[in-house]
Chains A and B, each alone.
Chain A
Amino acid sequence: MENSLYIGLSKQVVLRENMNIIANNVANINTPGFRGQNMVFNEYISDPRFMEEDMSLVLDYGQYQMTDPGSLSDTGNPLDIALVGDGFLGIQTLGGEIQYTRSGNLSLDAEGVLRNARGLAVMDDRGGEITIPNDATEITIDRQGVISTNQGEVANLMILEFGNPQELNPAGNGLYETTAVGVPAERTTVKQGMLEGSNVQAVVEMTRMIDVHRTYQSVQNIMNSEHERLRTAAQRLARTQA
């Protein structure tokens, strides 16, 4: 039986997937509001016949988001907001559904509608679009997410908190989709003129990458020596006495 080869193979397959996740984290090290991901491995017990002991393989089981806050940087732009706390901003997608984001680099369109960096409308707490009047100046966004101008209050930002942030699944473009229902934020505050960076930590990712790399090599060594052992065994057993 070549079980040790298969055990090594199972480890190498998950290490490759882990490497992909690390690569994605590092690629997004400067993406506003990005949350890094981490993998969960699981032991998978296989019970081959005619064997006394179970065989333990490794399986990539799932992944989770790192939920620690990203670094805040002061941009001075009144349409940049950072969320302090676990909340997410509600964004309306082109299909009409709501997705969520932590990335607060907002802008206005030609009609004064508040949009995210990809041009999708930012939603107010009643689920509508937010329109800044044409002749208004001095846009301020307070700690509770109330947007006002020199002409008075305009709208409240939709900021939701989720019991389990892991139920939010990344959808690309800084957005998250979920079937979970969020509640209006109580512990999240808004900071205007700041931007939350990516929460990926360079040192951690580099260390994990070295770890993956070396583990990959050592598994390869095990597989090489197992291969060698099998070959030597085959040669010795096949040798006949002259």
Chain B
Amino acid sequence: MVTRSLDIGATGMLAQQQNVDVISNNIANMTTTGFKRQRADFHDLIYQNKVRPGATSTDSDTILPSGLQFGLGVSLGSIQRLHEQGTLQLTENNLDLAINGEGFFQIQLPDGEMAYTRQSVYQVNDEGEIVSPQGFLLEPGITVPDDTIDIVVNQSGEVLAQIADQVEYQNLGQIQLANFINPAGLQAIGDTMFLETEASGDVQTGNPGEDIFGTIRQGAIENSNVNIVEEITNLIAAQRAYEMNSNVITTSDEMLQTVTQLR
């Protein structure tokens, strides 16, 4: 039926609509600290066999070189998150902590669950604990004394504080990073935080700079890894593909109209 091409055109339009949804979320977050871009991956749908490939064409076992298989359109296969490094931007704020390399900061959610994030902006709460902008505790917990003049976080994640009237820096604790074999499998919960899932693999923790973990850069933030030129190019491609699929629907419609004029 000609209506099959109508349906196929509709799957194409739907897929491109979802593509634009993903692209627009990337563009909306192009300046979100620690944001990791996503990508929609499409694949072709099932095929309908009119003549199976390899069918015999005569009684002397000659085989058709190709069959007749009609594809039934396209669907969204996955929305993959790409955990590439974002660019680092210097801020000189001593609680802006960027990870240079692999790894995630560990954040304890109010319900006790652990979340993982690449966001770089931290603050001290009223009790002197280092918290995320949402006010959630950084794990392992580090408390800054009241009379601190300066905080230094070194590349390997040691937090050192200069206390008033003391010459030597005091070690307040060690920031540990988390990593996963498959970061793309983490579940996003918003606020650039992620949860561990079956797909991500078990969490591995360690000190910054050790084997698989990146180092910490104090006084810098990690920008979003959205590449705006790439997103705009993808947006143009998605829009054109959307238009072409709507052309397919229009043409199928006109073919149907031609049929209805037949008497």
**A interface residues, Cβ below 8 angstroms from B:** 15-17, 19-24, 26-32, 34, 37, 40, 60, 62-64, 75-77, 103, 105, 107-112, 117-118, 132, 134-137, 166-167, 169-174, 179, 202, 205-206, 209-210, 212-213, 216-217, 220, 223-224, 227
* Inter-subunit contact A77/B82 (CB<8 Å): yes
A21 to B204, CA, bound (A): 49
If the complex has contacts A16-B1, A105-B41, A110-B181, are A28 and B201 also in contact, measured as CB distance less than 8 A?
A: no
If the complex has contacts A26-B244, A137-B212, are A117 and B44 also in contact, measured as CB distance less than 8 A?
A: no
If the complex has contacts A206-B244, A227-B263, are A107 and B80 also in contact, measured as CB distance less than 8 A?
A: yes
Most buried by B among A135, A171, A172: A172
A174 to B42, CA, bound (A): 9
Residue from B39, B67, B73, B248 within 8 A of A22 (CB atoms): B248
Does B198 sit within 8 A of A, measured CB to CB?
yes
Does B30 sit within 8 A of A, measured CB to CB?
no
If the complex has contacts A30-B19, A107-B184, are A202 and B43 also in contact, measured as CB distance less than 8 A?
A: no
If the complex has contacts A32-B42, A110-B182, are A22 and B74 also in contact, measured as CB distance less than 8 A?
A: no
* Inter-subunit contact A62/B67 (CB<8 Å): yes
Most buried by B among A24, A105, A210, A220: A24
Residue from B8, B84, B202, B240 within 8 A of A24 (CB atoms): B8
Please name the residue on chain B nearest to A227 by beta carbon: B263
Apart from A27-B248, A37-B69, A110-B201: 20 A-B pairs, beta carbons within 8 A: A20-B2, A20-B8, A23-B5, A24-B44, A26-B9, A30-B16, A30-B238, A31-B43, A34-B43, A40-B66, A105-B41, A110-B200, A135-B212, A137-B212, A169-B67, A172-B71, A206-B244, A210-B251, A220-B262, A224-B261
Q: Which residues of A contact B84 (CB under 8 A)?
A: 76-77
Residue from B41, B82, B244 within 8 A of A32 (CB atoms): B41
Residue from B78, B244, B247, B258 within 8 A of A216 (CB atoms): B258
**CB<8 Å pairs between A and B, sample of 30:** A17-B68, A20-B2, A20-B5, A21-B71, A23-B73, A23-B248, A27-B248, A28-B73, A31-B74, A60-B68, A62-B64, A62-B65, A62-B66, A62-B67, A64-B66, A105-B80, A109-B185, A110-B200, A112-B181, A118-B43, A134-B181, A169-B47, A169-B67, A170-B44, A173-B77, A174-B77, A209-B247, A213-B255, A220-B259, A220-B262
| Chain B interface, DSSP helix/strand/loop, else mixed | mixed
Q: Which residues of A contact B15 (CB under 8 A)?
A: 27, 30
Min C-beta distance of A239 to chain B, whole Å: 22
A76 to B16, CA, bound (A): 22
Residue from A19, A28, A103 within 8 A of B74 (CB atoms): A28
Question: Using a CB-CB cutoff of 8 Å, which residues 24-77 of chain B contact chain A?
Answer: 39, 41-47, 50-51, 53-54, 64-74, 77
